[in-house]
Structure 1
Amino acid sequence: MMGPRQEAQPALFYEFSLEDHVPQDHLLRSIDRFVDLSSIRAHLADFYSHTGRPSVDPELLIRMLLVGYCFGIRSERRLCDEVHLNLAYRWFCRLDLSDKVPDHSTFSKNRHGRFRDSELLRHLFETAVARCIEEGLVSGQRMAVVASLIEADANKQNSTPKEEWHASQIDPADAPRAVREYLDTLDEAAFGAASEVQPKFTSHSDPASQWTAARKGPAFFSYSGTYLIDTDHGVIVDVEATRSIRQAEVGSIKTMLKRVKEKFDLHPERLIADTAYSTGPMLGWLVDRKIAPHIPVFDKSGRSDGTWTRADFEWDAENDQYICPEGHELKQFRRNYSDPNRGPTGKGVAKYRGLKLTCQACPSKPRCCPNMDFRSITREEHEDARQVARDIAKTHQYDISMKLRKKVEMLFAHLKGILGLGRLRLLGPCGANDEFLLAATAQSLRKLAKILPAPQQSKKA
């Protein structure tokens, strides 16, 4: 038969424990084992006043932010509501049932103030990386790097064409925060100084974001997030926010490799990346530091007409010349020029030429230079490093590296598809950096929780 109507019966006393109502297999239980916030207060001590009303516990704010980024809660208003209602979130944030959840505006005040001034989010991320190293998930031998575009919180309707944009007319004192950050980054290699080319459009709300059509579709404003990962378990060891152009993304590698060396004493034996990172200076920088570049080289020296390519010519480094298959010499200079304008150009590219008389009389001219009086070959400044990368590409280890590179691409797929970071919410370079750091921290903690889950406790009878 039908049972009685269910009605709430108020009680005078309750025996309630959050610990008993959070499932043993909940993700936050595993994550909580690896969250070490013991150093936060000491890290922020100099950024709090010794007088006045007590502030909200910074550890509580960080725990709430971790919940938001671990579960894809993008809005801080919604995050406060979710922590208020969800028992597991309250348990992770060390809030009892009667404890009040901080107001959403508290996050903005702390983020724009003491959190950024103290680089707290960078410290939090590095703490998570240190725990991954401690747990044996990072060897530092093989690392991979890749950048991904993340749409900025800006649109074309609120932008100005480059010929109408005059940054010098902006008064920094009256400008919005994102504009002031843009002006502050004009000389930084990751943003303003990365290239002299100005974007087609500049956003009014976030001028540091890059107008780009790199996805071969409709153009949009974006930032680039670059991950440096250890390929053993796909752990992110560093992250950098940059302008969405190749020069800035490639330059961030040097910053990250130097930082992990200084912070964690990690020096990879090889670096895995895609063709965008195969510039001569980048390959030369890696080879000089004894890092094997497992990077496909973008090479235009090949020919489609069946004639000899540069690879068919032997390089004679001792005499600074090429030797053709017929044994003839191709030299850059055959005499000392008194006019400096006729000497080396200094542009990083050298041109080696054969003698006209020799080439005209050569029986292999139809296979070498059928439409030219003599054969010439260009050689870049870092051609030795490019050749090192070409030789590595012929090895079995290179094939393994190309498969391992998918791990870092999967991290960005997880970032956008699962954690919901397909579009940035915060404005300015600092906002983009904050979001990338928090997202990378959340991914590192989730990685630890997945590989080393919390032990399951037997249920009480």
Structure 2
Amino acid sequence: MRGSDGMQEALFTVAKLEDFVPADHPLRPIRLLVNAALVRLNGLFNTIYADNGRASIAPEKLLRAMLIQVFFSVRSERQLMEQVRYNLLYRWFIGLAIDDEVWDHSTFSKNRDRLLEHAVVENFFTEVMTVADRQGLLSREHFSVDGTLIQAWASHKSFARKDGGSDDANGGGSGRNAQANWKGKPRGNDTHASTTDPDSRLFRKSHNTAATLCYQGHVLMENRSGLVVSAVVTHADGKGERAAALAMLDRLPGRHLKTLGADKAYDLRDFVQACRQRRVTPHVASNVTHIGGSAIDGRTMRHSGYAASQVVRKRIEEHFGWGKTIGRIRQTVYRGIKRVDQHFKLTMTASNIVRMARILTLPPQGVAQ
């Protein structure tokens, strides 16, 4: 007999969000790791919020919602709030009951900015690394470093002269989208700045690529499990990668011997010498085409550890690739170096959590899956 196409809802329904999430869903181990890190932030949250007054969004739920935005490539807070209204998986992960009211997107954005003011994302990143360290996932001796470009949320047309002059002469047209004519006119960061995002810089990665308004994201990775132990965003310039690498090395605990794998961009005598002063052996790829030759000699390259570092360092690209395709850091939607830095750190934290969940849920060797 043909079934009826009608729908008759029951007057009362008894259901829990837990029943809608499969037992083997990949978000389950991820949520356990996130909650383990959030518990350690309870003291920080108590200092941020007042003891009385109107209750705001719980910071734990706010951070989980921000992670959902990264995990599922949700492009805006407005779209995130819309999807939380009907997506039971999102509600379960964030900690909202079925009948809980979803926040307005503007309220969500204002509360997110409060986390920026108190460096909550940085502390969350640290606590996730503490959880990883307790699980024995981190190396204390062997590291790798690399950087990537993050395209700014600004166009070339916003790159205007700092002295108030105009480069658009003979461009034709008028209005906010007027035709521009920059032919034969030098444009650089010393004389120009973006009116949309003044913190961005005009930069190109090589002579074969176009210059874009962008930032530089830098990552320091430990080599045992391939987890990011430090991440930072800086202005884009020719020295940013090496300066950020040294700054991240200075934040590593302990004065014991360490190794640092890196690509040819780090093969400069000043950087190699600075690493050695920090008791860090620079396992940097040799750039024999550089003027003056490579700063890495045979005494370093002859060891098997050097070859191992050169293989493992390429795993940083997995974090960059995941962040640009899933976390949407290829072109940031935020303006200002502080917000871009927060977005980059949160994305690298999410990448770490995904990797940790996969490592910790793998069956022991010799056990069939």
* TM interval, short-chain normalised: 0.7 to 0.9
Answering whether residue 299 of structure 2 is matched by residue 391 of structure 1, we say yes
Q: Counterparts in 2 of 1:28-67, with a 5 A limit? A: 28-35=27-34, 36-67=37-68
**1:8 CA drift (Å):** 1.4
Kept in 1, the 8 Å contact 2:57–2:111? The answer is no
Q: Counterparts in 2 of 1:39-438, with a 5 A limit? A: 39-112=40-113, 114-161=114-161, 164=164, 198-199=189-190, 201-214=192-205, 216-261=208-253, 265=254, 269-299=258-288, 386=295, 389-438=297-346
Secondary structure of residue in 2 paired with 1:34: helix
Report the count of equivalent residues. 339
* In structure 1, C-alpha distance between the alignment counterparts of 2:152 and 2:279, rounded to whole Å: 37
Letter in 2 for 1:85: Y
Secondary structure of residue in 2 paired with 1:246: coil
Q: CA distance change for structure 1 residues 39 and 122 in 2, over 3 Å: closer, same or farther? A: same
**TM-score, length-scaled by structure 1:** 0.68
Secondary structure of residue in 2 paired with 1:426: coil
**Identity fraction in percent:** 30
Kept in 2, the 8 Å contact 1:223–1:242? The answer is yes
* In structure 2, C-alpha distance between the alignment counterparts of 1:139 and 1:454, rounded to whole Å: 19
Letter in 2 for 1:424: T
Letter in 2 for 1:142: H
Structure 2, gaps ≥5 residues long: 166-187, 364-369
**1:40 CA drift (Å):** 3.2
* In structure 2, C-alpha distance between the alignment counterparts of 1:417 and 1:124, rounded to whole Å: 23
Q: CA distance change for structure 1 residues 267 and 439 in 2, over 3 Å: closer, same or farther? A: farther
Q: CA distance change for structure 1 residues 268 and 424 in 2, over 3 Å: closer, same or farther? A: farther
Structure 1, gaps ≥5 residues long: 166-196, 303-377, 456-461
Kept in 2, the 8 Å contact 1:140–1:268? The answer is no
Q: CA distance change for structure 1 residues 266 and 12 in 2, over 3 Å: closer, same or farther? A: farther
* In structure 2, C-alpha distance between the alignment counterparts of 1:268 and 1:105, rounded to whole Å: 49
Secondary structure of residue in 2 paired with 1:232: coil
| Aligned CA-pair RMSD | 2.5
* In structure 2, C-alpha distance between the alignment counterparts of 1:409 and 1:149, rounded to whole Å: 12
Pick the structure with greater CA Rg. Answer: 1
**1:50 CA drift (Å):** 3.6
**1:128 CA drift (Å):** 0.8
**1:106 CA drift (Å):** 2.3
Letter in 2 for 1:227: V
Letter in 2 for 1:89: Y
**1:45 CA drift (Å):** 2.7
Kept in 2, the 8 Å contact 1:128–1:441? The answer is yes
**1:201 CA drift (Å):** 4.0
**1:390 CA drift (Å):** 4.5
Secondary structure of residue in 1 paired with 2:33: coil
Letter in 2 for 1:15: V
Counterpart position of 2:181:
none
Kept in 2, the 8 Å contact 1:41–1:58? The answer is no
**1:130 CA drift (Å):** 1.1
Q: CA distance change for structure 1 residues 27 and 267 in 2, over 3 Å: closer, same or farther? A: farther
* In structure 2, C-alpha distance between the alignment counterparts of 1:163 and 1:296, rounded to whole Å: 42
Q: CA distance change for structure 1 residues 451 and 276 in 2, over 3 Å: closer, same or farther? A: same
Per-residue Cα deviation, 1:335-376 (whole angstroms, up to 9, x for no partner): xxxxxxxxxxxxxxxxxxxxxxxxxxxxxxxxxxxxxxxxxx
* In structure 1, C-alpha distance between the alignment counterparts of 2:255 and 2:7, rounded to whole Å: 59
**1:453 CA drift (Å):** 2.6
Kept in 2, the 8 Å contact 1:140–1:266? The answer is no
Q: CA distance change for structure 1 residues 235 and 301 in 2, over 3 Å: closer, same or farther? A: closer
Kept in 2, the 8 Å contact 1:296–1:390? The answer is no
**TM-score, length-scaled by structure 2:** 0.85
**1:133 CA drift (Å):** 1.2
Q: CA distance change for structure 1 residues 405 and 48 in 2, over 3 Å: closer, same or farther? A: same
